[in-house]
A and B are shown apart, each in its own frame.
Chain A
Amino acid sequence: GEAEEAAPVFQYAGKAAKRKDRVFVWGFCYSGALGVPSFVKPDVGWKKPRRIQSTPYRLETEEKISSAACGYGFTLLSSKTTDITKVWGMGLNKDSQLGFQRSIRDRTKGYEYVLEPSPIPLPLEKPQQTRVLQVSCGRAHSLILTDSEGVFTMGNNSYGQCGRTVVEDETYSESHLIHQLKEFDSRVVQVVCGQDHSLFRTKKGAVYACGWGADGQTGLGHYNITSVPTKLRGDIAGVNIIQISSYGDCCLAVSDEGDVFGWGNSEYLQLASVTETTQVNVPRHLPFKIGKVKEAACGGTGNIVLTEEGNVFVWGYGILGKGPNLIETAVPEMIPPSLFGCSDFNPDIRVAHIRCGLSQFAALTNRGELFVWGKNLRGCLGTGRMEDQYFPWRVTVPGEVVDVACGVDHMVSMVKSFT
């Protein structure tokens, strides 16, 4: 009526209101890997420390985070900014996997644990031009990929995983040493940390490795350590590799033609489709008949791939995502798309990305939903419950999940707000 016509109109959002970029963390808190100091050291006297954050918790960051990586008890976050500070780290720092974090109380000492995202200064030649593209974290070392100054490595180098000569009796704690790697056949476009080894993928489609090799995870044809990044051959020689993955001691690579190659540990049937041996030290083609593979991810005992058609396949050992009855398989089994929300009502839902932690899996759909399954070590699944999850389960995140990084007992996600 007239009263309604005359009523004022409120504006809560303008047409140009932009969606905000956010970071959410969850899992084990005491290592500091979640970056929320009050979880470990409550700011109010009567509050108790929080051991586990079982649902996504918003982490305030200064910059838009474009890459995140979860190591064993620590986290790296990076931004593509041209500002001086491009990488932040939090969590365990006993091996200087977060670089030297100067203590405030004693400026000659470094922190063993970092409780909030702290800048990691990089020895860049052009700090106001060079951008950090991606970060990766292993058991006790980190890799930082830049667009024009190669790869920077930090942390434990007992096995040459940082790509530099192993120094006997080197002390890794409170170390300022950050090493730079530039000797590859072309620009490095992806870096991956396994437990104690490192993989590098170049623009030309080659794969390099260094570090611990006792399970053949360096794929260089031997079981020794390697301290200089060396190009892999075997079944991937001359093949254009477009993606690599590792987190434990097994490695997978995907070619531009959609083929999958694997090497490293096979104690859990990861490579049993081609060999009975439990260690494979040269890349082998895995002859799966599941369609063209787009993306692969390796966990500690289980593997997962995503095909061009949007189907998800799992194999290996552990909680694989098809109920408690499927504990192990050498041959990939498909996870029914209905578990990711695909139905008659919603026929266009597809899994867009898959990720692996040490004993858990994650899948991101084209609608920005995050599904997780596997062992729920210290609440790392983020479901709000403490039970293991035997099939894909939605994690409630207040936003569209753009990417997720999985660790041993924590996860970090990059999210865009809805409006």
Chain B
Amino acid sequence: QGVQGSPFAGPKKRAWTGVSLPTTNHAAREGGMRRDLKIGAGHRLDVKASGVFVLGIGDGNKLLTDLYNCHLTKVYTVGGLFGKATDDFSDTGKLVEKTTFDHITREKLERILAVIQGTNHKALLMHSNIDMKTQEAYELAVKGLIRPMGKSPPIITAIRCLQFTLPEFQLEIQCLHETQQYLRKIVHEIGLELKSSAVCTQVRRIRDGVFTLDDALLRTQWNLQSIQNAIWDCQLKVKTEIEKTLGHQDKSHLHKMDAEMAQTADS
């Protein structure tokens, strides 16, 4: 089965697992010869999470690698519920303790968020391996472009409260090198800092690097035409981001992409 890859938006409550994708006419046109195309997955989304999930197909896999090496941030909306703590930090886990939460105000929550952001900001600069005594470091810091370009622990680059109606709250978290479980743990720790407890009710990725929910295809759009359009629509911004971040590196993947884009434009 030949299939083109593109960013998918998983359904709200269920994660995307396996799916049978439509066959193309490609095989038929080529006189019945089958072509196997490799499908690669981008950053993981665990079973309890949902949201933007990026795939690469064929040559797109090399772009996936390039994008991985750009170490771009991801953005999640994370739902939380005050009043209990569970063993796996989610609302479906085994209850560990119940606590009061009527003393919690939005203001108090936002103060904790400010600390999280502050400590993570320092971690960001520390792991970016830049010599802080250079003018280059200053320029990058001003533009907010300092970030680790190699392995680092999870780092939260920005966090803010979107909604607050006790006992529920919703956060928007921008991060790097994270796992969804790490984000659930953050919710748990926020509960502790506020002298209560909290569990995570939802983790939804709304952005992965250059891909947003708007780029993503819904279940109903998992057909060849939509997929082809989706790939086409994002090509320029993927290329731009890779060039911007990895500009000095070997651009052979990009040259190939250029050639393809020129070809398709002609046809």
Q: What is the size, in residues, of chain B's interface with A at 8 Å between Cβ atoms?
A: 37
Contact B95 A394 (CB under 8 A): no
B interface residues (Cβ-Cβ under 8 A, vs A)? 83-84, 95, 97-100, 102-103, 108, 111-112, 114-115, 117-119, 121-122, 132-135, 137-139, 141-144, 158, 160, 174, 193-196
Q: Given the known A-B contacts A324-B135, A419-B108, are A12 and B195 also in contact in the complex, defined by CB atoms under 8 Å?
A: yes
Most interface-central of B83, B141, B174, B194 (chain A CB within 10 A) = B141
Question: Could you tell me the distance between the alpha carbons of A419 and B256 in the complex, rounded to whole angstroms?
Answer: 56
Closest chain A CB from B132 CB (angstroms): 7
Contact A389 B132 (CB under 8 A): yes
Total of A-B residue pairs, C-beta within 8 Å:
100
Write out the residue numbers on chain A whose beta carbons fall within 8 Å of the beta carbon of B111: 368, 400, 418-419
A-B contact pairs, 18 of them (CB 8 A): A4-B95, A7-B98, A10-B99, A11-B99, A13-B100, A15-B103, A324-B133, A325-B135, A336-B142, A341-B117, A341-B118, A343-B158, A368-B114, A369-B114, A387-B132, A389-B132, A390-B138, A418-B108
Write out the residue numbers on chain B whose beta carbons fall within 8 Å of the beta carbon of A418: 108, 111-112, 115, 193
Write out the residue numbers on chain B whose beta carbons fall within 8 Å of the beta carbon of A11: 99-100
Residue of B nearest to A367 (CB): B114
A interface residues (Cβ-Cβ under 8 A, vs B)? 3-4, 7-17, 322-325, 336, 338-339, 341, 343, 345-346, 367-369, 387-391, 393-394, 396, 398, 400, 418-419
Question: Could you tell me the distance between the alpha carbons of A85 and B137 in the complex, rounded to whole angstroms?
Answer: 48
Most interface-central of A13, A369, A400 (chain B CB within 10 A) = A13
Question: Could you tell me the distance between the alpha carbons of A3 and B193 in the complex, rounded to whole angstroms?
Answer: 26
Contact A13 B144 (CB under 8 A): no
A339 partner, pick from B83, B97, B119, B142, beta carbons under 8 A: B142
Question: Could you tell me the distance between the alpha carbons of A387 and B125 in the complex, rounded to whole angstroms?
Answer: 14
- Nearest 8 pairs of A and B residues by beta carbon: A323-B138, A13-B195, A12-B195, A345-B158, A323-B135, A11-B100, A9-B98, A325-B135
Q: Given the known A-B contacts A345-B174, A346-B160, are A391 and B141 also in contact in the complex, defined by CB atoms under 8 Å?
A: yes
Residue of B nearest to A400 (CB): B111
Closest chain B CB from A400 CB (angstroms): 6
Contact A394 B122 (CB under 8 A): yes
Write out the residue numbers on chain A whose beta carbons fall within 8 Å of the beta carbon of B95: 3-4, 7
Closest chain A CB from B184 CB (angstroms): 18
Write out the residue numbers on chain A whose beta carbons fall within 8 Å of the beta carbon of B143: 338
Contact B195 A17 (CB under 8 A): yes
Question: Could you tell me the distance between the alpha carbons of A322 and B138 in the complex, rounded to whole angstroms?
Answer: 7
Question: Could you tell me the distance between the alpha carbons of A298 and B115 in the complex, rounded to whole angstroms?
Answer: 29
Closest chain A CB from B76 CB (angstroms): 13
Question: Could you tell me the distance between the alpha carbons of A12 and B114 in the complex, rounded to whole angstroms?
Answer: 22
Contact A419 B193 (CB under 8 A): yes
Question: Could you tell me the distance between the alpha carbons of A114 and B158 in the complex, rounded to whole angstroms?
Answer: 44
Write out the residue numbers on chain B whose beta carbons fall within 8 Å of the beta carbon of A369: 114, 118
Contact A10 B98 (CB under 8 A): yes
Give 20 new A-B contacts, CB below 8 A, not counting A9-B83, A396-B118: A7-B97, A9-B100, A11-B99, A11-B100, A12-B196, A13-B196, A15-B102, A17-B195, A323-B134, A323-B135, A325-B135, A336-B142, A338-B142, A338-B144, A341-B121, A345-B158, A389-B132, A390-B137, A396-B122, A419-B112
